[in-house]
Amino acid sequence: MNIYKQNTDIFEFDRLKCLRTDYYHNNCSECIDICPENAFIFDRGKLKLDEKSCKNCGVCVGVCPSEALSVNFFDPNGYIVSLNDSEVFLSCKKDTPCLSIFSTQNFITLALRKDKVSCDLSHCENCELNKENKIYESIKNRIDEANRFLKESKCDKKIEIKKISQDLGRRALFKKMFNNVKELSGEGIDIKSLSNVRNRIPIKNILLKNSIKKEIESINNSRISTNYSFLSNKKIDFDLCNNCSDCVKFCPTDALFYSNDSTTIWFQAGKCISCGICNNICEPKAIDNEENIDLIEYAFDRGKKLVEHKLEICSECKTPFAYKGGELICDRCKNFVNDFGDIFQLASDME
């Protein structure tokens, strides 16, 4: 039994992929906010699934930034790469579950790969899952975000929202498991490697990057804003950074990483899932977000140097530290002297 996974017969919650497990102070609450049955709870500070309350609806799958949630009867990523039609019509009354199973990245990927993408949201109004209209608003917000991305990148694509009143009849949803390992391997995705705790780039992000690569000629503006839920571009203030390495250690996807000599911190926007852990954990607040990002650098996983330090040996504790001029003493020792120097001076005077 895997103690890090909670399962119903259909639904799975992988705690090792959850951002709340990565960093205790992370405040991601996407699954909690959207769940119509309040099936996610906190028990002794840990996010857990109330298996008795879970209805296996899958509406939370599309909002999870790290793909910690899944259902065994439908994989949105596998479904996307298996589609052969040039025009796609998504409906919960056709061959998919609730459209909330798709993320913003999924919607953009579909739009980039297909000639036409339409979504049927007409059944949300009378759906028992759509309490307080939260599911409908969440799906629509994701589609709107996808369209905003397509518009800003000046790509001649758009996802349409249509209303179809009749029941279309499900064609193949429960006849086929949409895991599609073969199709995903064709995208350069190794499922086994992605199960590694330190290599957790969501498949939806990889598919999006592949789609941008394939459609790069149709993207007329590669420099766009980072005002999206899944995009982030980082910068580090040299004067504030003390090279403590916390941002690198806690990055769940290794988007932040060190050079071999631990003097330089690099960043790959294509691996970042915009979780904000690095910003929150940085005690001197040296990390901040850039307002823009280059989609070519993002799609091709190009790294950029954020900060480079010169290491010297502290004269007090004899450990390497990021030297910025002046005395050869690290911040820890300097703060210790400032905080407790009077005590040592008092002890010296009493001898």
- Host H or E run for residue 40: strand 40-43
Q: For the residues of 101-164, what is the DSSP string, one character each?
A: GS-HHHHHHHHHHSSEEEEE-TTSTT-TT-GGGHHHHHHHHHHHHHHHHHHHTT-S--EEEE--
Q: Alpha-carbon distance 201 to 251, whole Å?
A: 11
Per-residue model confidence as pLDDT tens digits over 84-129: 899 999 999 888 999 999 999 999 999 999 999 999 999 998 999 9
Task: State the pTM of this model.
Answer: 0.88
Domains and CATH numbers, the chain: 5-213 (no CATH), 225-308 (3.30.70.20), 311-350 (no CATH)
For 68, 204, 233, 291, the CA distances from 294, given in Å and listed in that order, are: 28, 19, 9, 11
DSSP 328: S
Q: Alpha-carbon distance 286 to 248, whole Å?
A: 13
CA 59 to chain centre: 17
Question: What residues contact 193, with CB distance under 8 A and at least 6 apart?
Answer: 199
CA 111 to chain centre: 20
Q: Given this model, what pLDDT does residue 174 score? A: 45
Confidence class of residue 25 from pLDDT cuts 50, 70 and 90?
confident
Tokens describing residue 233: 């571009």
User: Can you say whether residue 120 is alpha, beta or left, with left for phi > 0 and alpha for psi between -120 and 50 degrees?
Assistant: beta
How much is the mean pLDDT over the chain? 87
> Does 339 score more than 80 pLDDT?
no
